[in-house]
Structure 1
Amino acid sequence: MSPSVPVKIILGTHTVGSKSEHPGIVHFDTAEEVRALLDAFYSRGHRELDTARNYPGSEERLGLAGAPSRFLVHTKVRDGAGTTHPHEPAQIAQSIDKSLSDLGTASVETMYLHVPDRTTPFEDTARAIDEGFRQGKYKRFGLSNYSEEEVQRFLDICEEKGYVKPSLFQGHYNPLVRGNEKALFPLLRKHDIAFYAYSPAAAGIFRSDADKYKTARWKDDNQIGAIYSAMYGKPAVAEAVDVVRDAAEKHGISGHAAALRWTAFHSILDGKYGDGIIFGVSNLNQLKQTLDAIDAGPLPAELAKAIDSVWTVVDGQGPPYYI
């Protein structure tokens, strides 16, 4: 079943930044490379970018390219790798100001809390986020990678204190990651919180050359690679991937494109709630292929049903939807 309103399409820019700091992850570093990426995305009619303080050099390069003048920019407070209390109010304020400075703008569309800081009281974190919102530094406040229990705690605190409430949630979601449908999505719908899905095609695992792709991206020697290796390395996941690839092949569609189209057109996501999908690319041809796949629209009913059924294979064994 297709969404009643198309989902939003957001370009993730974790591949924009410093190649020297993130070799193998970053692919757009120079001013020319970044401008070419943004121009190509813009020319296809899309106007939203996702970045983060933790993406080395991403915000700075987007700022130099004038991205905030053409796109709605969603960014995230530093999650504080190596920091004891990353969401302590002073740390949040510093991260927000640095993001705005690097982006070259006085305000962004959304400021997320990237990953829960469970060492700092949520009350302190919510107060700091509210202060930035009231200062006009962002129009919306979002949560990313929180459990439904933690989202509820934030909502309760914001309601009690009169703080700005989260209106956007960014989370892991695709044919293999659907545990959030049971409890998180009903909570989000109840409170008018939109959902932006990252890894909508499961980080490339459905590609025909997935073994080569995983070798390059999922190395255990970097944080992102280690996370994806742990998430998608289980036998039940491999079995589900084979089911999708085989079903897609019968329709002349790549497994990667089929997974992406399922998330955009046949999942719980719906543009009427403000939902969207976030994807990243490593080159301009991949950008074109991804957008072409999305523009192809819903899948054949038989294929959509086959992909929908793989959740029964991985339910309880698939990757978690929060960190």
Structure 2
Amino acid sequence: MSYRADEGRYEDRMPYNRTGRSGLKLPAVSLGLWQNFGDNRPLENSRAILRRAFDLGVTHFDLANNYGVPYGSAERNFGVIFAQDFAPYRDELVISTKAGYDMWPGPYGEWGSRKYVLASLDQSLKRMGLDYVDVFYSHRPDRETPFEETMGALDHAVRSGKALYAAISNYTAEQTVVAARIMRELGTPLLIHQPSYSMINRWIEDGLLEVLEEAGMGCIVYSPLAQGLLTDRYLRDVPADSRAATSRFLSAERAEDSRKLAADLDAVAGRRGQSLAQMALSWALRDPRVTSVLIGASSVKQLEDNVACVSGPEFTEAELAEIDRITGPRVSAGR
């Protein structure tokens, strides 16, 4: 069946936040295609999630070259769905991708060299069937390649018309200062930074948010649910089909260790009339310097439940203090 987007998709459901000092607005909730859009997932399930997301006002789809199993499959599958469903809506969408982690064998298949970054962008565009992406990221800093080279590649990507905006991910506050300065001098300011951030991973509060505000950059956070720890998924046990049981990014031991913390936070969420996941997303968005939160989704229902965070109540000072007491000082980085 051909797809026709919901005509009411912009009727005051989804807030759109300005990205730093740029002219671009992003939805408060963006959809990341990291985990659930590879060849190990049914294409029709991916299609249903993407359609429903757009109908709910989610206009930003976030990818990277190595997303999906195998690498590249998330972009390729997205390209199939885009051609069939979303091509008429291209100018309503913000599509982003990244280069930085391992993608192909040999010395030119990862990190931040000009050769890798620009070759990766060409491959991503081919997989997705796009002429350009809206946002192109350096996915991680490369300590062995001068920032001038990596940032120069991002600048070239924009000037060649293959990307509209340049961005970075996983850079420290100090690295962001350097990268932002280089890009300003090149004449292509960085649009946004994508760091990990959640109630139990607050490292960006230790200087990065201030750097982004000063540089006029936005902030879109990934893993706001801490790989599922800040959901009801592990409140009772570790299901055999859960991420903690099957993924290298989250261990069953960590899920077990976090159960008491999650239960205490879940009680706060319940008093707010939210699920734990909804509260965790609302919490990440409480700071006006956070432009958007990236969510993953394995089903339409999960997507709908998470997007509903935008309708949650404002936090009281007492609630924020209780959350701080439960989570304690947590500034570690990581997925």
TM tier relative to shorter chain: 0.7 to 0.9
Partner of 1:279: 295
Partner SS state of residue 49, structure 1: strand
Amino acid at match of 1:296: G
Contact 2:125 2:131 in 1 (8 A): yes
Pairwise CA distance, 1:63: 1.3
Aligned match for 1:15, one of 35, 40, 44: 35
Partner SS state of residue 167, structure 1: strand
Q: Distance in 1 between matches of 2:317 and 2:174?
A: 35
Q: Distance in 2 between matches of 1:196 and 1:202?
A: 15
Partner of 2:51: 39
Larger CA deviation: 245-254 vs 32-41:
245-254
Contact 1:11 1:279 in 2 (8 A): yes
**Residues 1:159 and 1:214: Cα distance change in structure 2 (over 3 Å):** farther
- Deviation readout 1:258-291 (Å, 9 max, x if unpaired): 2222222x3x2x2xx5711110011111111112
Pairwise CA distance, 1:104: 1.2
The percent of aligned pairs where both chains have the same amino acid is: 23
Pairwise CA distance, 1:16: 4.0
Pairwise CA distance, 1:247: 2.6
Pairwise CA distance, 1:243: 3.0
Query: Is 1:176 matched up with 2:192?
Result: no
Larger CA deviation: 297-306 vs 122-131:
297-306
Partner SS state of residue 209, structure 1: helix
Aligned match for 1:288, one of 294, 304, 313: 304
Amino acid at match of 1:263: A
Partner of 2:166: 141
TM-score scaled by length of structure 2: 0.78
Contact 1:204 1:213 in 2 (8 A): no
Contact 1:262 1:307 in 2 (8 A): no
Partner SS state of residue 242, structure 2: helix
Contact 1:231 1:319 in 2 (8 A): no
Partner of 2:282: 261
The residue correspondences of 1:235-254 to structure 2 (distance < 5 A) are 240-251=261-272, 253-254=274-275
Pairwise CA distance, 1:116: 1.9
Amino acid at match of 1:145: N
Query: Is 1:106 matched up with 2:131?
Result: yes
Q: Distance in 1 between matches of 2:231 and 2:255?
A: 15
**Residues 1:171 and 1:95: Cα distance change in structure 2 (over 3 Å):** same
Aligned match for 2:249, one of 227, 231, 236: 227
Aligned match for 1:48, one of 54, 57, 60: 60
- Deviation readout 1:148-179 (Å, 9 max, x if unpaired): 1111221233345x252322000111111112
Pairwise CA distance, 1:136: 0.9
Contact 1:259 1:307 in 2 (8 A): no
The residue correspondences of 1:80-229 to structure 2 (distance < 5 A) are 80=102, 84=107, 86=110, 87-160=112-185, 162-210=186-234, 211-212=237-238, 216-219=242-245, 225-229=247-251
Larger CA deviation: 207-216 vs 116-125:
207-216
Q: Distance in 1 between matches of 2:207 and 2:269?
A: 30
Q: Distance in 2 between matches of 1:308 and 1:299?
A: 13
Q: Distance in 2 between matches of 1:4 and 1:109?
A: 16
Partner of 2:99: 77
Contact 2:95 2:134 in 1 (8 A): yes
| Alignment root-mean-square deviation, CA | 3.0
Pairwise CA distance, 1:183: 0.8
Partner SS state of residue 101, structure 1: helix
Aligned residues: 298
Query: Is 1:303 matched up with 2:327?
Result: no
Which residues of structure 2 form unaligned runs of 5+? 1-14, 19-26
Contact 1:16 1:34 in 2 (8 A): yes
Partner SS state of residue 279, structure 2: helix
Q: Distance in 2 between matches of 1:11 and 1:102?
A: 19
Partner SS state of residue 248, structure 2: helix
Which residues of structure 1 form unaligned runs of 5+? 21-26
Q: Distance in 2 between matches of 1:76 and 1:231?
A: 31
- Deviation readout 1:118-151 (Å, 9 max, x if unpaired): 2322221111111111101111111111111111
Pairwise CA distance, 1:110: 0.3
